Structure 1
């Protein structure tokens, strides 16, 4: 099997043109910032890692604080790639396996939820954007957001954080951070910061399951057949590469669903799913149970059935929760203990862990998936943005950013560490009570959209009750977002009909505000539901 090195991601090639308007890269010129020691007027220094949706959200959240609060703060964002946008930013020269790409982005990627549900509150996609846009639109949205709010002056692109360690006590100290330029990796700059915010995403390091016999199967390609392969979906790009192959897709998450729809349309395809999972509407696949093992000739499944004609196995098996720079100690820093311990087989839990720990599925102990409760440093010293899974990223990132910004401005807004730890333990107990292992499902919102929206609402409600935000009597997640997330599949079928009939302009003409986008989605839901009722069609009959 291909051995996957834990390397930095490099994004795929995409050459198609965006028909609505040209894509323009933002002018994120790299800026070298003097150390706080050389700027005695700096009262607080903050480093952010990553310029995807989470990094942009927290950067704006900090800059939105009152000027008299943050006027003497230094805020620096490091982004290792050439522009903002995170996984939505395409790379014209993706590497070949086993070198990891910068992103799992593939050319046919479209959003699987309506774009208004994915936006930062108050900042819409441009007029005319298709309701389920391709990835180019989403990348451009992040570029536009950074430019509109003048965030780029704080962003250092082409800068990689190599290592970060805490030097101090549980009460006070500094982060020592080693940073290098992508084009001059031999030149390492060491900086110190009061706060470190990790927003580098979690779709970088593929989770690779292994089965007995896989190496024998891989090494026994029949004469005249395509060379057998097992590759993670991070390497998946185009379905045409699988023509004349028989494929097994393992997993039913977002990448597994897209691979099933795309690959199943061009070649014989099976999808290996756990009990209770189903393939996406319209997928031309044959469902199989989980893989049990391989023989020299076949893929064997848990029900005892086997397939001897398989050429390719695509592993849509998710990603590991790794933050390599927190597990490395900065050079010549005098620090002896990494900030994050990587321990896949750990038996520690949130109450017994002696340090912040990742078992590759879950980073713990964290308060509200955000603040480290490690006894090594104060809770606001280290924060994460964007860890929750199965959630709308931009609005969730914005809610987390509000929470972090106000806590950094005034740490007393947070409960005592003991209370935060009790809250974490209670959340984990609730996950167990619903039949899940919190150390296995990790940061997933296992209750679906209801839980994801309740999480965001709770963060903002907390700040309102603490007097940090004005209380307008409304929940953070607007009713139209709730509706559109619940009706995503119905809206997807509606939009397919709109595109099939070339009626995009009729629906989108003059649509600019959130209220207008919401109205379009309400009308599409009613329109499609009525059509399906009249024609006796629905999720199982209308692709």
Structure 2
């Protein structure tokens, strides 16, 4: 019997781990990437290309290396805990090379259309129309399954403001923002309060004359550096804390985190405190912003009421503020133009997907969206678990619930989100990290049985109650990894190792 052929669309972090899981299950894999290199969002480039996203030149990841790792590929101990985009890309390259993914990548190939094959009802196969961007030639190939791994940072959401057309300055979206060079000696306002917004306002503030941060709601801002100097996700994302907080009212959970964040700086005094609680919005992560507000390099403003010829009027201001540039950090629209609407429908950024992966109406589980998620935590191990689930389904080792059950699951999830989160397009694909990882792992039998280790391996049990590092999901289940236990136990050593090059006994002590 011939091997199943799997098409992976996009060679970013999600596409690379998806291809690796497919190869691990013995499938033939082709990974199409429209750009000239792997890495997706993390492959920085100066040019602004429609349909192709990249981080800014100075971008540093907001999740620490141990929490961002793929589950059987711990990062080297000498890598910093929060990696610059170049180091993040290096990690992805090493991963792809180590697991033999690189040779399956076809760069400069654009997937134009994915449609059900003529025999789809029987086989679940898909016809994929691909364009070679070097020759501009098209060809169609039939695959047993398709994994869409292009994410949601591709098509900018650009709102319109009153009077915007008469503004003589420049208006750009963060999608087009690669560096701050062109804003030197300018007066700049950044609209938004998400991670892209604060990264932009920080970067620009170092070269601009005046820099403003305009926000409607405000936000809870976390620092990368948590209590005792540990990465904040290592401190917060532990199984023990997650379990305890699940037992108490949500108001207690909110109080706990908000008190920690306010201990870093008073959000109300800094003009950032939102009306909603911490758990009602995706958190913003930035260490520099409070200092820049404190030193006057960034001034926090309310929403833009209207544009003038040479600036904007902010809400609650009596007169307009003079500006040369306005940067819109206003998020993205979820779009997949190569997929038919009857395959995947997107309305107001709401996507009909069972557990954010599978279109529930399809007869076969042979098309999956990998990495289309907004977690409070690292996305890379999530995409890996989603891919392992897909591989199990394609191997006929697992099955999905009925169509009715999947739609009901989607309905309940949307209702839960509507009650919890402030209304925003960014919250349509929001998940809690540990809970969602456990949910995915349960689909394939890879969720660790914590209580079992209390009786059989007390050292590991204590470690499992700590930071929920991704190696936990290779202890059990299909394609478990013999090195998972040691990777979990060694994680603290890898966290501490790069912090101190003075070679003190504290940072360099033996494992």
TM-score with structure 2 length normalisation?
A: 0.72
Partner of 1:214: 164
Instruction: Supply the distance in 2 between the matched residues of 1:435 and 1:170 (Cα, whole angstroms).
Output: 39
Instruction: Supply the distance in 2 between the matched residues of 1:78 and 1:215 (Cα, whole angstroms).
Output: 39
- Kept in 2: contact 1:160–1:181 (CA 8 A): yes
**Is there any run of 5+ residues in structure 2 with no aligned partner, and where?**
220-271, 273-285, 454-460, 471-485, 500-511
- Kept in 1: contact 2:77–2:495 (CA 8 A): no
1:387 and 2:341 correspond = no
1:259 and 2:200 correspond = yes
Q: What SS does structure 1 have at the residue aligned with 2:8?
A: strand
The one of 48, 58, 71 aligned to 2:18: 58
Instruction: Supply the distance in 1 between the matched residues of 2:332 and 2:155 (Cα, whole angstroms).
Output: 5
1:142 and 2:142 correspond = no
The one of 444, 451, 456 aligned to 2:430: 444
Partner of 1:88: 42
- Kept in 2: contact 1:122–1:514 (CA 8 A): no
The one of 178, 188, 198 aligned to 2:129: 178
Assess, with a 3 A threshold, how the Cα gap between structure 1 residues 198 and 413 changes in structure 2: closer, same or farther: same
1:434 and 2:420 correspond = yes
Assess, with a 3 A threshold, how the Cα gap between structure 1 residues 478 and 159 changes in structure 2: closer, same or farther: farther
1:294 and 2:310 correspond = no
The one of 321, 332, 343 aligned to 1:308: 321
Instruction: Supply the distance in 2 between the matched residues of 1:523 and 1:274 (Cα, whole angstroms).
Output: 41
Instruction: Supply the distance in 1 between the matched residues of 2:403 and 2:114 (Cα, whole angstroms).
Output: 23
The one of 356, 366, 383 aligned to 2:344: 356
Residue 197 of structure 1: how far off its partner (Å): 0.8
Residue 163 of structure 1: how far off its partner (Å): 1.1
Q: What SS does structure 1 have at the residue aligned with 2:6?
A: strand
1:74 and 2:87 correspond = no
Between Structure 1 and Structure 2, which shows a larger proportion of helix residues? 2
Residue 319 of structure 1: how far off its partner (Å): 1.4
Count of equivalent residues: 401
Partner of 1:368: 355
Instruction: Supply the distance in 1 between the matched residues of 2:417 and 2:373 (Cα, whole angstroms).
Output: 14
**Is there any run of 5+ residues in structure 1 with no aligned partner, and where?**
1-40, 219-227, 327-338, 342-353, 446-450, 485-511, 526-543
Instruction: Supply the distance in 1 between the matched residues of 2:335 and 2:357 (Cα, whole angstroms).
Output: 15
TM-score with structure 1 length normalisation?
A: 0.68
CA displacement, residues 93-152 of structure 1 (integer Å, 9 cap, x when unaligned): 624xxx537333222111223222111012122342122221111111111001101112
Q: What SS does structure 2 have at the residue aligned with 1:63?
A: helix
Q: How does 1:270-349 map to 2 (within 5 A)?
A: 270-277=212-219, 278=272, 280-283=289-292, 284-326=297-339, 339=340, 341=341
Assess, with a 3 A threshold, how the Cα gap between structure 1 residues 181 and 355 changes in structure 2: closer, same or farther: closer
Partner of 2:174: 233
Residue 184 of structure 1: how far off its partner (Å): 0.9
- Kept in 2: contact 1:232–1:316 (CA 8 A): yes
Residue 300 of structure 1: how far off its partner (Å): 1.9
Q: What SS does structure 1 have at the residue aligned with 2:333?
A: coil
Partner of 2:277: none
Instruction: Supply the distance in 1 between the matched residues of 2:318 and 2:406 (Cα, whole angstroms).
Output: 49
Q: What SS does structure 2 have at the residue aligned with 1:271?
A: strand
Instruction: Supply the distance in 1 between the matched residues of 2:190 and 2:424 (Cα, whole angstroms).
Output: 26
Assess, with a 3 A threshold, how the Cα gap between structure 1 residues 121 and 174 changes in structure 2: closer, same or farther: closer
Instruction: Supply the distance in 2 between the matched residues of 1:275 and 1:381 (Cα, whole angstroms).
Output: 41
Residue 189 of structure 1: how far off its partner (Å): 0.8
CA displacement, residues 442-485 of structure 1 (integer Å, 9 cap, x when unaligned): 1123xxxxx12210111102321xxx88867579x95554499x
Greater length-normalized contact order (CA 8 Å, ≥ 6 residues apart): 2
The one of 140, 158, 171 aligned to 1:190: 140
Cα RMSD after superposing both structures: 2.9
